[in-house]
Amino acid sequence: MPVFTHLDGDKARMVDVSAKGEVYRRAIASGSIHLRPDTVRAIREGTTVKGNVLATARVAATLAVKDTPRIIPMCHTIPVHGIDISFSFTENSIASQVTVVSAGKTGVEMEALVGVSTALLTIWDMVKSAEKDKDGQYPVTGISDIRVIEKVKQEIPETG
């Protein structure tokens, strides 16, 4: 019978990381939202009906990173020391990249993934009226390619 780290019989449990030492950790996640070219242009020019889409997505991503343990059940609460959120454009898409930095006992990949997912979902929410067709559907809009593109784990250098 396999031994599961997050299950004890039929009960879910969080792994005990108390014996682990603190380590510098950084994770970068990315993803894209595909939109109509007119919508991408309106976001770039700051002319969307709901306001500054990317500023709102940055705030949403930051809050999501900090709330990751409330969203992902077995995710540990970690000290988040830095968050960077960036966007890049093509004619019909916006890519988001979220970097999360911590010094702790467990990784930051989930925080980066939740951050980038929330940034993209917030963009969709802010422009959904421009993306709907006459039947209220989203024939163009889609989120894709959410993934961890880098993970760093290294000892914290001694100071003194």
Active site residues: 125
One-letter amino acid for residue 23 of the chain: V
Helical (H) or strand (E) element with 114 = helix 109-131
Please list the residues that pair with 103 across neighbouring strands. 24
Q: Would you state the structure tokens that stand for residue 35, as one six-digit string?
A: 């939109």
Q: Which residues contact 73 (CB under 8 A, 6 or more apart)?
A: 12
CA dihedral of 108, 76, 78, 115, whole degrees rounded to 10:
50
